[in-house]
Each structure stands twice: as structure tokens, then as C-alpha cells.
Amino acid sequence: MKYLLYTLHGFSKKIPLYKSLLTVGRDEHNDLVIDDDYISRRHIDVHVKKNSILVRDAGSANGFFVHNRRRKTAKIGIGESFKAGEVTFTLEDGDTSEFSLSDKYRPGFVKEKKDKKVSSAGKNSAVTRSLQTIHKEIEESIFKWKLRFESFDEFTSYLIAKLSRVPGFGSLFLVEKGEGAENTKIRFSVCGKKETFDLLKKILKKYPSIFHERYANDNLDFSSEALILKNKANTLVYFLEKGQILSRKNIKAFLLSLAKEIEMLDQFIEEQKELTRELITDRQVEAEIITNNDKMKNLIRQAKKIADSDINILIQGESGTGKELFARLIHRCSKRDPEKVVALNCAAIPENLLESELFGYEKGAFTGAYNCKKGKLELASGGTLVLDEIGDMPLNLQVTLLRAIQEHEFYSLGGSTPIKVNLRIISLTNQNLEALIKEKKFREDLYYRLVHLCLTIPPLRERKEDIPPLINFYTDKFCRRCNRSIKGYSLKAFGALVNYDWRGNVRQLENEIKSVVNLTDDGDTVVFDILSERVKDYYEANREREMGRADQSVRPPVVFHRKPGREEIIEILKRNNWNKSKSADELNMTYHGLHKKMKKMNIIPPQK
């Protein structure tokens, strides 16, 4: 049977196409209800055909998209997809059954129509948010909050967070003129992907006029919006997202307004520099998960959705990816938030001390136990226990922990009275626990007690779009800590950081930025030479490899001062593996010209 597989916020569900017309929208009367501000009350109609569906826009504010292009109607075949709001739909044919969660854990953003009376009031009757006017919301928000920002970095952090949440916003850079393209400074970037960063470098190199003209777009061959700030050497460079709904007119108006706000804010902050500022604490800063990556955003949404349940969670990923941040996010979004998070690193504590750290001990329980001490299990009761590097826990201790989880009680070392606990356990690991089970290094029964749901954090090298906002975030953090200001990064330094593979993930990037901030003088720009040798060597090696590949790919053309003969044409065709396009270029003729020549000379390609 045909069904629609729809995905939002990391959750996927199936809806069988059991009738000829299926309605989708935010209103409760639809067959499929999607609780999303960008979805209209009745968004699309799905007409079911024999081996396909016909999707029609039902007069929605934001429409639906096929291959990043907005469509009024579209025929969707088996295995093909379309998108409405943030929901991706795929037409499939097969088994419609699926694992069914209890209502407590069922994701609430989508639900099938139920036969019940619905009040006209409530959130489903709210006005649909239009992506065409979303920039107005952001403008009002910036105007409302701008006088509360005490540094330019604080403002840009707020702006980046706002713009990153707009679906398909595109990429935005604020650059400051330097001597030559390589010395141009990037003050901040929003959703800066590698391809747009490369395009930015081309623009800066080819069109230095963008720093002198108020509107430089008419002279550019690139799809961008560039605005210069009045009386400043700063330029906003914006790149449209492929298939973007936001109109150029609205974006241009928004960038003009933003340019004025930035200029006014720069002036205001300069006047307020000597005033006392309230510092953001490290705990507030560390609590944020900075990302532009879709997978990471889905993980954050999943984490928030399951936070209020008491299911135990395993968070796995390479060292330095931010597993503990996710654990703290889950705790903060749960009803356990008033209580504490208690963390224990199972790999950092010697085996003979780990048991006493976990379960605590009574006075006189062993030599040196001069006082009673509560264990992590007891301290975390009512809150959340985070077991870091759970894969390194000794087997004999795994048995004791399993019993404590099952019985909700345990005995401290030397104790005779059971201690009852109310626990929620979040385990962290950079190892494959299922592989450890096969190797008899981890108990399978404990695994199923600890892992009701698993979140896998992708490494930083698989989410390159997160590097620019992380650079901004940690630069701001360490500038505050060192009480200094940094103007930005040279283009070469920023490019080296963006293109590095970061095997140590976010933690390695954080350490790099910490070093960079400490080595840069107050008010200066971060230059390439300040970066660590590892990052610089990687950048130079990559550049040499790219130049080498470019040299190998360039074949000097054969220039014929006379018409080439049959043997010469055959020789060039063989050298190019009978590729007519490449051979035509080398012969300095068109593809069709070569085709006619081959037919006239009876040159027949070999049978494959």
C-alpha cells in the first residue's frame, strides 16, 4: 500500500494513503495536522493516483517545494519527495505498520485527524507566519534589544541566533576592508557555508569596488546582495539560498535596515565603553549549543521532546563533540531542573575508588574512611546522573549498578540500610557499546537498562557549517574573559580555520580560539601567522594538493594550423577515451563539428 513518510524534528511517521484526497495543514480538521507556524491552516491537498500522487498548493502563505523550487502543483512518484515548512514528505509503497510509541512519548507536532468537535479558538486559529515578512519580526526584535547589548560581539551572537532559525535564510557576512583580499577581515558570519565562503573570496578579489559603492550589486556577476555602511569600511555581503522564498526586495530592505542598526550600535557601544558592564557567567555561555547543521538541530529538538520523560538516554559521539552539553540541555528542559546534575567520569577515576564514588561509604568502611560520604547515586536522586565514558566502567561494578537501577535502591560501602533513589541516568560514550557487548566487556542487560533512546552527535568535520558560528562564539567568550576586543579575522586565517578537519572536534576548536585570542593584541585582527602550526600546515598542504590537481587537469591544447587528418583525429579520440567533448576542445572545433567529421571520415567508436 502507498503511504507518505513525513519527517520533522528528527521524528518520522507513516500515514497510509487510504482515500483519494488527503488534506494537510495546521487546522484540526485536516487529515494530517502539522503544528508549525509556517504551515497554513489548510496548506496542501494530496490527490492519490495509481502509482503517484498529485500535490496542490491550497492557497498557503509559504507553499511547498520540489528540488528547492516552489510549485503550485507537482506529480510525485514512488521514492520522490517534497517539502512544506520544515516537514519533508516522501511517497513510499510497502508495509504501513510501524513501532507505536505510547501517547506519553508520541511526538506531538503531527497527528492524524480525529472525529471530535474543535473550538475555533487556540493556536491553530493563529495567523500563519509568512517567510516573506519574517525579516520584519527580526528587525523589531533587534530594535527592541539593541540598547541592552554591551559589546558588538554580544549583538552579533544574538543576531546569528535569530537569523539561523529562519528556514533557508541564506548566508550573510560582515567584512571590513583590508589591504588586499587576503587581509580583509570577517567581523561575523551567519550560516557561512564553504561554497559561499569561497564565493566571497572571489568577490573580494575581483570587485574591490564593493568597499566604495553604496550598492555594488549592479556591477557583480554573482548572485549576492552587497551593502556598504555609511562612513565605515564595513560591507554586508549576502548570498541567497537556492530555492529561497524570501524576495530580493524584502531582503534588500532588511539589509539596509540592518546596516543602519549596526552603524548606530557601533557608535553607541563606543560611547559606552567605559561604563560598567554585567558579565555573562561561564555557566550561561557553556549552556548554549551553537549550530547551523540540520542534523544537530534535529537532535536538539529530540532532546527537548524527550526531556520530560524519565527514560534513560545514551549520548554517543567522538570526544569533544559536545555530549555533556546535550546531557545538560535535557536536564534543563526536564521537570528535574530544580535539582542538580551530578556527573561522574568512569574513565578518570581508578577502579578501586570508582565504587565508593558511585555508592558512597560509611565511616570505618575501609582504611582511611574517617567520615561518611554520600555517593553520586544518592546526590543525584531527584535530579540527573550523567555517567561519562560509561564503556570504561569495570564489569564487577556494572553488576552492582544494574541492581541499583532495577531496585531503585542500593547500599553504601559498609552500610546496612538501603538507600532509596529516584534517578534519571544519561550515559555518555565515544565507544561502540554494542561492539563491547560482543567482546564481553560490557553487560548486555545493563545496556538495555541504560539505553532507552540513543542520540548520536556527528563530528565537527561532518558539519562544517557550524565552524563559523563557533569561531564567533568562542572569540566572544574569550575576549570577555581576557577583557580585550578583536576586530575580526583576516580572510586567510578565517579560511584556514573553516577548512581544517578538527579531529578533536569542538573542544580542539575552542582551545585554538583561546590561544588565538590570547596571542592577539587588543584591537588587532587575527592573522594567519598566529594560528597553531597544525592548522597552518594543514592549510598549506591542502593548497599544494589543490594546485597539484589543477596542474594535472590542465592539458596543453593541440593547435592545428591545418585541417587535421583522419589518423590525427583517431589518435586524439583514443587519448581521450573516445570522449567527443574533450576531443573537440583539443581539436579546436565544436562537438557537432567533430561528429560530422567522424561520420564523413567513417570513424566509428569501438563497441563497449
Among 98-112, 204-218, 258-272, the range scoring the smallest mean pLDDT is: 98-112
Task: Go through 300-322 and write b for each residue having 16 or more CB atoms within 10 A of its CB, e for each that does not.
Answer: bbbbebbbebeebbbbbbbebbb
Contact 514, 474 (CB under 8 A): yes
pLDDT greater at residue 94 or residue 535: 535
* Angle at alpha carbon of residue 132, lines to 127 and 137, rounded to 5°: 65
pLDDT-derived band of residue 277, with 50, 70 and 90 as boundaries?
A: very low
Contact 186, 494 (CB under 8 A): yes
pLDDT per residue as tens digits for the range 335-372: 888 778 899 999 888 877 888 889 988 887 777 777 88
Among 35-39, 339-343, 529-533, the range scoring the smallest mean pLDDT is: 35-39
Residue 430 has a pLDDT of 93
Average pLDDT over residues 280-290: 48
Among 219-228, 326-335, 494-503, the range scoring the smallest mean pLDDT is: 219-228
Residue 432 has a pLDDT of 92
Q: Which residues contact 246 (CB under 8 A, 6 or more apart)?
A: 131, 132, 134, 135, 168, 169, 170, 240
Average pLDDT over residues 566-577: 85
Residue 94 has a pLDDT of 82
Contact 322, 287 (CB under 8 A): no
Residue 243 has a pLDDT of 56
Residue 93 has a pLDDT of 87
> Helix, strand or coil for residue 244?
coil
- CA distances 487 to 56, 184, 262, Å, are 50, 11, 14
Q: Which helix (H) or strand (E) segment is 22 a member of? A: strand 21-25
Distance (Å, rounded) from C-alpha 207 to C-alpha 179?
14
